Amino acid sequence: MSRLVLGINCVREALRAHGAQVQRVLLEQGDSPALAGLERMATSLRVPVERVPRGRLERMARGVLHQGAAAQAPELRLLPLDTLTKHPLVLALDELQDPHNFGAVVRSAVAIADAPVLWPEHASAPLSPAMFRASAGAIEHAKLVRVKSLRSTLRQLAVQGFQVLGLDGQAERALHDFDLTLPTVLVLGSEGSGLRRGIKGTTTAMARLPMTGRFDSLNVSTAAAIALYEWRRQTPPLPHDPSP
């Protein structure tokens, strides 16, 4: 089994993450320093490279921006639920349906907190080339946990000692008022309706992001990045983080 990865950064990260497990790389014909660099990288990893007409990539991409690069990469590995207890922060997504938002959220989760991303298998954006492209390659390094029921999973995590904080613009307390050094699940709702009532009922508290008052909500990927950064601000630097 394999999946289609599109875009220069995405193909590069697939090669970095999976090496020779990438089945092949397809690059647009012509002179391009960026594509030539990908070809050298793939060749050094003994991954077959094929130069193809742009039209072939267009047909494969089906409207997703490909930048002249595609790869057949291994299927993503989904982690079991019990791995979440090993992490101080989990990012949960309640029926997020836009693949571009999903990918952007995953990129922030990997870049800011190296946090697992938890989501329900129904009424959510699929793991697709568009989603991979929106993550700009971060999906290759993400910790992904897909569950049948987000509601029951959040209840289980609360029993296991996590504080489950739902983000809502109408919440009384701001996110920075909570101690995020405790094991935490941050729960974000869908683009249109936010958190479902049943999901709100599983949270231990609701939190809002400080705003001017002109608006009470942000794009979900923007809200995720801000919430993740607040967690990062409160917690010690990661071992590989050069920041003080």
Structure tokens at 240: 């590989």
175 neighbors 152 (Cβ within 8 angstroms): no
Where in the chain are all domains bearing CATH 3.30.1330.30? Answer: 2-74
Please report the pLDDT score of residue 238 as a whole number: 61
How many Cβ atoms are within 10 Å of 121's Cβ, its own excluded? Answer: 12
Element (H, E) at 42: helix 33-44
Enter the CATH code of domain 2-74. 3.30.1330.30
pLDDT in tens, 9-45: 999 999 999 999 999 999 999 999 999 999 999 999 9
154 by DSSP, 3-state: which? helix
How many Cβ atoms are within 10 Å of 203's Cβ, its own excluded? Answer: 22
Question: To which residue do tokens 């079991």 refer?
Answer: 80
Whether residue 240 is predicted with pLDDT greater than 80 in this model: the reply is: no
What's the CA gap between 132 and 6, in Å, rounded?
8
Please report the pLDDT score of residue 210 as a whole number: 87
Please report the pLDDT score of residue 211 as a whole number: 81
The mean pLDDT of the chain is 93
CA 39 to chain centre: 27
242 by DSSP, 3-state: which? coil
What's the CA gap between 162 and 88, in Å, rounded?
9
Please report the pLDDT score of residue 30 as a whole number: 92
Please report the pLDDT score of residue 244 as a whole number: 40
136 neighbors 9 (Cβ within 8 angstroms): yes
Enter the CATH code of domain 81-234. 3.40.1280.10
pLDDT in tens, 130-153: 999 999 999 999 999 999 999 999
What does the pLDDT average to over 143-172?
A: 96
Report CA-CA distances (Å) from 134 to 38, 107, 138, 139, 244. 19, 8, 9, 9, 30
**Selected residue with higher pLDDT from 191 and 64:** 64
What's the CA gap between 107 and 185, in Å, rounded?
17
What's the CA gap between 179 and 181, in Å, rounded?
5
Q: What is the reported pTM?
A: 0.91
Where in the chain are all domains bearing CATH 3.40.1280.10? Answer: 81-234
